[in-house]
Structure 1
């Protein structure tokens, strides 16, 4: 009997919870179920963060499947996350775009929120572009800036919030994957060159992203701490998805839209809120659509 079959045979919930939430066969079944319903065979995946769902407007020949129509898929409950897989063509490339994502703060495990990434891998995706809305820690960043992520800080991982916790299946990836090059150097180079070619240098940045589980926004002291340790922007997503993508040997490009300035003064009267996140996403939507389209045009998949 194979190890994978033995894993699937455990009945004890306490033991089962220690294992990967989804076996290779379970993810394969989900992927095959989706592929039977669409003609597209994607090699590129794009995850849209809060307020960035209009990136789907750049996809032609669309085939759409709602998350709640996919057995086992996490369904987002957050405004600005529509909850759809959009398949189609972008600049001659076959893509699948996630119009919204799920988060740990909605009550999902890290393994659950990263199920779509594993599913994309088994559907044939080799490159992942992941976007998010983030608060600016770097005081040189302005609302509306776009940060190319060069690295991340998995603070939640310090407390064990990591989607790779549990029994490893080598068919997904190695037990101990390296994260020193989580964000592909060549993709970052192409992104920076594309931003320059498009005249977007004035609002494009590069920096380090951190994930806080949320849903509460950061305290002043937390923001000051993040600044002290070298973080440029912070949000509530992305890191688990990137970890799983790299575990699956997918190339990753990360983009953060700076939707608010993090509060650094104890007596400040302003505060972070989700409404400004959505408003900034709307404001920068067309620029991001144009940038991602141009970026995809330069990719070799």
Structure 2
């Protein structure tokens, strides 16, 4: 079985570098595929309140033979619950759906700057961490300006920043800011949702040379540059294949070649600075 490396947060806790994402996975399907992922060896599951599948994830966790303390579970605070009391209630709702007493990581899902409540949300997460219902706290989809603001206002740095990141959109500035401040970077849509990334000639050539799939090469690249990565699949064969990417080793030249694929036009999802949903 492949071995998944772990990375250490600045709060002393650790996160498996390869996880399993369930964005756009229906609740009943999530129960099935998370169960499969746990059997394969994944020990890091990433969900969110807005995904509507926390209950399915919870059923899979409850049915698994894997001990709770051996599974790293992330969920996220949605944009309509940034105010203090709403955020407290939202976490309780997520825990109830997941069937858990705590989550290992709780993230603010989007800064949503136009709403202007992200600092209130961050202060509440700091408070919630002290209750033990959340082991570590972080953010997702924060422009650097808002990231700097919450740190300056509270003196508390997120342990991790989850952002869109794939070979065609590499977010070098935010990754560098994270490195400079001890904040890990986590990639969502790490395979670029399959749009051009997996058919890029640079990646397919490396895959052919390695006897690997293009997806395995991209996941191996994320691991090599220090990202936490959470690929999603509902196909059993791909769940296994993605997990086995931990056995794919890239040379420095191959990592640099993929690094040159970055494009300012490569964003797939919404711009966090402008989002208003």
TM-score, scaled to structure 1 = 0.27
The answer to which structure has the higher helix fraction is: 2
Q: Which has the higher strand share?
A: 1
Of structures 1 and 2, the larger Rg is shown by 1
